[in-house]
Structure 1
């Protein structure tokens, strides 16, 4: 399952040249992962409050391929690349139309509030 999140580039997202500031791509893909979590039926507040577990990013590999600019309409695509009991790797792309502007592989773990790794929760969407 590929989850798609539309995003528009606002003035606050850009540098003086009107190009999206590099760190904002990380914000865009974070939003994409957060919405993916909702889409598959996981409630992060319940996980934290009732189960004492949260998701955490362990690693990000990112490639900046082309610039996004002020007022562009973008789409963040998010999917599960691989899944193991205590971690998953999520693929993410930021696109303008069919053109890929940014690509990342994000390793996510699940952990207790005191930082101990735990098994990922089950969800309704298939991996890959």
Structure 2
């Protein structure tokens, strides 16, 4: 099987992390839950880069919450390894839901070690009920062709 040294999309948003001791489990590799934390960090950094902040969410009384994760762990990561976590909006129905993709690569080799897709739904922040996506979300979380 060939090693993927490319992103799955052209020019995704990305952040860099270095695997910390707190990310390591008893098997001496990054714990499954740590990948979810990496995804959350990348998603929030991307959201803020798109111009939406927590203050925006509060002012709109709206938030995007996870409904579903689909995760493929392709190879292990270890302590002190630099990783690059990429994310992008794959689809957005402009009403309630969107899908965000993630890809994690080893920074030194470029090898892809992880892929995931997360479905988010829009809720009213003050009561947790589903709601129509505010215009600001529909505009910021649109699909980019690259």
Give yes or no for TM over 0.5: yes
CA RMSD of aligned residues (A): 1.7
1:103 counterpart (92, 106, 115) = 115
Q: Does 1:11 align with 2:21?
A: yes
- Provide the residue aligned with 1:90 in structure 2: 100
- Provide the residue aligned with 1:118 in structure 2: 132
Consecutive unaligned residues in structure 2, runs of 5 or more: 1-10
- Provide the residue aligned with 1:77 in structure 2: 86
Count of matched residue pairs? 127
- Runs of 4 or more consecutive aligned structure 1 residues displaced over 6 Å after TM superposition: none
Show CA shifts across 1:43-63 (max 9, x none).
Answer: 222222x22111101110001
- Provide the residue aligned with 2:144 in structure 1: 127
TM-score (norm 2): 0.80
- Provide the residue aligned with 1:22 in structure 2: 32
- Secondary structure of residue in 1 paired with 2:42: helix
* Distance of aligned partners of 1:127 and 1:36 in 2 relative to their CA distance in 1, 3 Å threshold: same
Are the aligned partners of 1:41 and 1:124 in contact in 2 as well (CA < 8 Å)?
Answer: no
Consecutive unaligned residues in structure 1, runs of 5 or more: none
